C-alpha cells in the first residue's frame, strides 16, 4: 500500500465514499419517501384555508395534538387558531387562548369593534423555506412532494430554524429536544388519507390536495377563490393558500 500513487489513493477514496453513501444514505431516503405504492414525483402537496368559513371551534388544533402527540401545554402547537379583532383608531388585537383548542369566548366589549374573524395558522411549507437554509446539520429539508420536514435523528436542537421561521410555526419539543412542526400529517397523506386537521374541520375551512392534479380539492380551491399567502414580500412562496384574509393578517 506504500506504493499507492496520489491518483490511485484519490480513486480508492472516491469509491469508498460512494460505497458508504450507497449503504447508508439511500436507506434513509427510501424509508422516508418510498412508501408502499406512493409515487412521490406525482405529488406536490398544497393546502387551502378559507377564513370566511372558520368558526374558531378548535377541532383542528385538537385533532393535530391527538394525531401527532403534540405536548398538551398551551404553548406547543403544530397548528393553532388566532382571533383578529379590529377596533376603532386602527387598533388590532390578536388572541389565541390555548391555541384556540377550547374555542373562543364571545367578545364582551363590542363598542369599539369594527370586525373580528378567525385565522387558522400552521407551517406554510414554503417553496423557499428559510428554516431549511439556516439548519446547520441538514436535519430540516423539503421533500420532493413539497413538504418541509425535520429528521429528528439529525436535529441537534439548536433552534436556528425556530428563529428563522417568519410564521412562528416551529417549537422545540420539550422531551425529544428537537425542532418539531407540522408535517401535513406526512404519515397519513402518503397513505391516501387527509391531514388530521382537515379531517376534523367541520366547516371545510381547511382544504387539502395535490397541486399537480387539476381536479384535486386544492386545485379547485385555488381556481375558484381569490388567493393570498402570508408575508408574500419575504419571497418564501408559501404553499398554504388563504382566501378571505384581511390586510392586518401576518
Residue 148 beta carbon to other proteins: minimum distance, rounded to whole angstroms = 16
Nearer to other proteins, 78 or 130 (CB): 78
Residue 13 beta carbon to other proteins: minimum distance, rounded to whole angstroms = 32
Nearer to other proteins, 6 or 111 (CB): 111
Nearer to other proteins, 19 or 94 (CB): 94
Q: Give the Cα separation of 106 and 112 in Å (integer).
A: 15
Nearer to other proteins, 123 or 236 (CB): 123
Question: By the criterion CB under 8 A, which residues form the site for other proteins?
Answer: 31-32, 35, 52-59, 63, 66-67, 83, 85, 102-107, 110, 113, 116-118, 186-188, 191, 193-194, 196, 199-204
Q: Give the Cα separation of 48 and 55 in Å (integer).
A: 16
* Cell numbers 385538537: residue: 62
Q: Give the Cα separation of 197 and 207 in Å (integer).
A: 10
Q: Give the Cα separation of 221 and 242 in Å (integer).
A: 10
Residue 93 β-bridge partners: 85
Residue 70 β-bridge partners: none
**Torsion, CA 195, CA 245, CA 61, CA 65, rounded to 10:** 60
Q: Give the Cα separation of 217 and 136 in Å (integer).
A: 36
Residue 56 beta carbon to other proteins: minimum distance, rounded to whole angstroms = 6
Residue 115 beta carbon to other proteins: minimum distance, rounded to whole angstroms = 9
**Torsion, CA 173, CA 174, CA 178, CA 181, rounded to 10:** 10
Residue 42 beta carbon to other proteins: minimum distance, rounded to whole angstroms = 19
Nearer to other proteins, 103 or 166 (CB): 103
Residue 188 beta carbon to other proteins: minimum distance, rounded to whole angstroms = 6
Residue 235 beta carbon to other proteins: minimum distance, rounded to whole angstroms = 31
Nearer to other proteins, 163 or 204 (CB): 204
Q: Give the Cα separation of 6 and 239 in Å (integer).
A: 49
Q: Give the Cα separation of 62 and 56 in Å (integer).
A: 12
Q: Give the Cα separation of 16 and 102 in Å (integer).
A: 56
Q: Cβ distance 189 to 39 under 8 Å?
A: no
Nearer to other proteins, 54 or 135 (CB): 54
* Cell numbers 407551517: residue: 123
Amino acid at each position: 500500500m506504500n506504493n499507492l500513487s496520489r491518483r490511485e489513493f484519490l480513486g480508492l477514496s472516491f469509491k469508498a465514499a460512494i460505497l458508504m453513501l450507497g449503504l447508508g444514505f439511500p436507506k434513509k431516503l427510501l424509508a422516508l419517501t418510498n412508501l408502499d405504492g406512493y409515487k412521490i414525483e406525482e405529488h406536490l402537496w398544497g393546502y387551502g384555508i378559507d377564513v370566511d368559513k372558520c368558526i374558531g371551534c378548535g377541532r383542528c388544533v385538537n385533532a393535530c395534538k391527538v394525531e401527532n402527540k403534540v405536548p398538551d401545554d398551551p404553548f406547543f402547537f403544530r397548528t393553532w387558531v388566532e382571533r383578529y379583532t379590529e377596533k376603532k383608531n386602527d387598533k388590532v388585537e390578536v388572541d389565541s387562548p390555548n391555541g384556540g383548542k377550547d374555542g373562543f369566548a364571545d367578545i364582551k366589549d363590542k363598542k369599539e369593534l369594527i370586525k373580528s374573524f378567525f385565522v387558522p395558522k400552521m407551517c406554510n411549507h414554503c417553496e423557499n423555506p428559510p428554516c431549511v437554509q439556516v439548519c446547520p446539520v441538514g436535519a430540516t429539508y423539503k421533500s420532493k412532494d413539497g413538504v418541509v420536514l425535520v429528521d429528528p435523528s439529525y436535529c441537534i436542537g439548536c433552534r436556528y430554524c425556530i428563529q428563522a421561521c417568519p410564521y412562528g410555526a416551529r417549537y422545540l419539543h420539550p422531551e425529544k429536544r428537537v425542532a418539531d412542526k407540522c408535517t401535513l400529517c406526512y404519515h397519513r397523506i402518503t397513505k391516501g388519507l387527509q391531514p388530521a386537521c382537515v379531517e376534523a374541520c367541520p366547516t371545510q375551512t381547511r382544504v387539502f390536495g395535490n397541486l399537480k392534479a387539476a381536479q384535486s380539492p386544492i386545485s379547485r380551491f385555488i381556481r375558484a377563490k381569490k388567493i393570498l399567502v402570508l408575508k408574500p414580500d419575504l419571497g418564501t412562496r408559501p404553499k398554504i393558500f388563504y382566501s378571505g384574509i384581511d390586510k392586518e393578517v401576518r
